[in-house]
Structure 1
Amino acid sequence: MFYRPEDGHDLPHNPFNAIVTPRPIGWISTRGSDGRDNLAPYSFFNAVAYVPPQVMFSSTSAKPDRGDTKDSVAQIRETGVFCVNIVEYAMRDAMNATSGFYPAGVDEFAEASIEKAQCETIDCPRVALAPANLECKLTDIVKLPGEANFAVFGEVTGIHMRDDCLTDGIFDVLKFNPLSRMGYRDYTVVREKFALNRPGE
């Protein structure tokens, strides 16, 4: 099968998300200029550079009470900071509870009974029990083609790692089983890993 996205695919659901899979989930926490906190998951998320460490996530829809975007991007525009919280399998239901379209000003930490902690390098909350948190300073927001598509880039200024996720100095994903997004309503979880040496190593 071949199709041009501009012409449609004639399938029951859009297959694009299911093709680009699995995708790590950036559980983005922010604090607005009014001091209100927000927490929402984004599956268009990844690391993009080592030195300095940098990450990005994309927001692809809007809410009437936020104009051209959603709460996360709106608050990042105001304050210039955000935190990426890594999602483990054990927190799948809590993460999902924060994915709803809540009115602006609703604290998803409270809605989903998630313990929050204060970041160290930025004025922003983080998920206290997450396996890891990446405190980020905004570097750029890029408007992408499409009505409400924004890519948010940030430099990581502080990193928290839960002590029980470290094994002999290695951040061990098998200690917490990262949750990943697939297509449709599907998710997957990392439960095994293997190593490959590059040619010449």
Structure 2
Amino acid sequence: MFYEPARGHGLPHDPFKAIVAPRPIGWISTHDGQGRVNLAPYSFFNGVCADPPCVMFSSEGRKDSVSFAALTGEFVCNFASVALKDAMNASAAPLPRGESEFEAAGLEMAPCRIVGAPRVAAAPATLECKVLNVTELIGLDGMRLDRFVVTGQVVGVHIDEEFLVDGLFDTGSAGALARCGYRNYAAVFETFEMNRPGQ
């Protein structure tokens, strides 16, 4: 089949999110500088470049994660693992501002070293980030889309040494969680190596 998104697809559910998959989950923690914290998963998340290390997450609407990151200039990305899948899902609940997703999900907070936002203590890895920019997307018709992309530079990295094997972070043993569209997720328990041509 072929369809133009602006004209609809005729399917029971939009296939776009299932096609762009699997996607790592950006489990983003932020604060407002006055003691209120927020924790929320974003399935439109990824690394942007490695040197310097940068990541991005995208939000449909200017939610607390975007507002707090723009306000304080920082955010934290916590590694979402299979072991933490239920807590990750619980943190997606639409709580009123000021209510703690950490508490609602039964998660312990841990302090970061460089940024003021807390991190998920049980996460296999965490990236402390400083905001580079917050951009609202503009559609082809020139209209604002109320979709925001937050880009950050990683300024600190926490790794649970349990998941370091021969000096490498073992994504498989950490049980990386990914979003596959609809209500579907994937778990990484096994990886394999391939060399690029010429290497």
- 1:57 matched residue in structure 2: 57
Q: Does 1:149 align with 2:147?
A: yes
- 1:7 matched residue in structure 2: 7
- AA partner of residue 106 (structure 1): E
- For these two proteins, the number of residue pairs brought into alignment is 194
Aligned 1:1-201 pairs, distance under 5 A: 1-61=1-61, 69-145=62-138, 147-201=145-199
Give distance in 1, aligned partners of 2:9 and 2:111: 45
Give distance in 1, aligned partners of 2:94 and 2:103: 15
Structure with the larger strand share: 2
Which whole-Å deviations, capped at 9, do the CAs of 1:139-186 have from their partners, x for residues lacking one?
001111353200000000000000100011010112221000011010
Give distance in 1, aligned partners of 2:70 and 2:48: 20
RMSD, aligned α-carbons: 0.9
Structure 1 residue runs of 5 or longer lacking an equivalent are 62-68
Structure 2 residue runs of 5 or longer lacking an equivalent are 139-143
- AA partner of residue 9 (structure 1): H
How far 1:34 sits from its partner (Å)? 2.1
For the residue of structure 2 that corresponds to 1:56, the secondary structure is strand
> What is the TM-score with the length of structure 2 in the denominator?
0.95
Contact 2:173 2:189 in 1 (8 A): no
Give distance in 2, aligned partners of 1:105 and 1:12: 36
- AA partner of residue 39 (structure 1): L
> What is the TM-score with the length of structure 1 in the denominator?
0.94
Identity percentage over the alignment? 52
